[in-house]
Copies of this chain bind each other. A is one copy, B any other.
Amino acid sequence: MKGTLTDRQRQVLDFIYATLEKQGVAPSLREIQAHFKLASPFGVKRHLDALTAKGALRRLEGKARALLPPLPSIRRGLMTDVPLFGTIPAGSPSAQEQEPDRTLSIDTTSLGIHPGTTVYALQVRGDSMIGASILDGDVVFLTPRPPRPRDIVAALIDGESTLKRFLHRDGLPFLRAENPRYPDLLPATELVIQGVMIGLLRRVPQ
C-alpha cells in the first residue's frame, strides 16, 4: 500500500517534520536513532526506506540530512501571509492584542482576495456566532474596509473587541450575535469596525 503507514513509520515521519519545523534542518539517521532510543542506525534506515517507498518522504541520495516532503507536482498560485492574532471573543468583548501569534499562509485565490489586500486572522472564542456556523476555535479572516449591513465584523465597541453581525436599525448601526442567548450590542460611545470577515478556516482535531 502506498498511503498506509505503520504506527512506527508515522512516529518517525512525525519526528522528521517536527525537527524540520523546529530547527529548520532535517535530522540525521543517528539523531532519529537517539530520539527513539534505538541501538542501531540501520533500523532507522529501513524506516526511511519504507517511507520513501510509500511516497511519504523524498530523499536526495547520498546527501546528509536530505529528507524532504514528497514533490509537489502542481504549480502554486500567488500566496499571501496572514498574521494570526490571538483570540477574539464571539461571546463577550475583550481587549485586542497587537503581536501576531503566528503567520498563516494560503493562496489568494482560495481566500477570494486580490494579492496585496490587507488580511489578518483572529481565532474565535465562544459560541455567540454559532448561528452563522462559526464555532469556538475557528479562525476567521478579516480585511479592513467599511462594513455593509449584514457583514460579520470584528468591532471595537467601547474599547473592547468582538465578532458580531453588523446591522442598522433606524439608521443607527449596532451589533448582533448569532445566538439568541446573547443580547444586541448598542455602542454607548463609539463603534470602530476593525475588519470585515471574508473567510473562515477550521481545523478538526485528529
Contacts and interface: CB of A to CB of B under 8 A. Distances in A.
A189 interface: no
Given A25-B60, A28-B64, A65-B25, A105 B76 contact: yes
B116 A57 contact: yes
A206 B198 contact: yes
Contacts of A171: none
A102 B106 contact: no
Interface string A103-139: 1111111111011101000000000001001110001
Given A74-B81, A103-B76, A112-B206, A200 B200 contact: yes
B105 A79 contact: yes
B114 A203 contact: no
Nearest to A131: B133
A83 interface: yes
Contacts of A144: 3
Interface stretch (A14-22, A38-46, A179-187): A14-22
Interface string A172-206: 00000000000000000000000001111111111
21 contacts: A3-B118, A13-B116, A14-B114, A25-B63, A25-B65, A55-B116, A57-B116, A63-B65, A65-B65, A74-B81, A76-B79, A76-B81, A77-B105, A104-B106, A104-B110, A105-B110, A112-B203, A197-B204, A198-B203, A200-B200, A200-B204
Given A105-B106, A111-B203, 17 more contacts: A3-B118, A13-B116, A17-B108, A25-B65, A25-B68, A28-B63, A64-B64, A65-B66, A69-B116, A72-B81, A74-B103, A76-B79, A76-B105, A102-B109, A106-B110, A110-B203, A112-B204
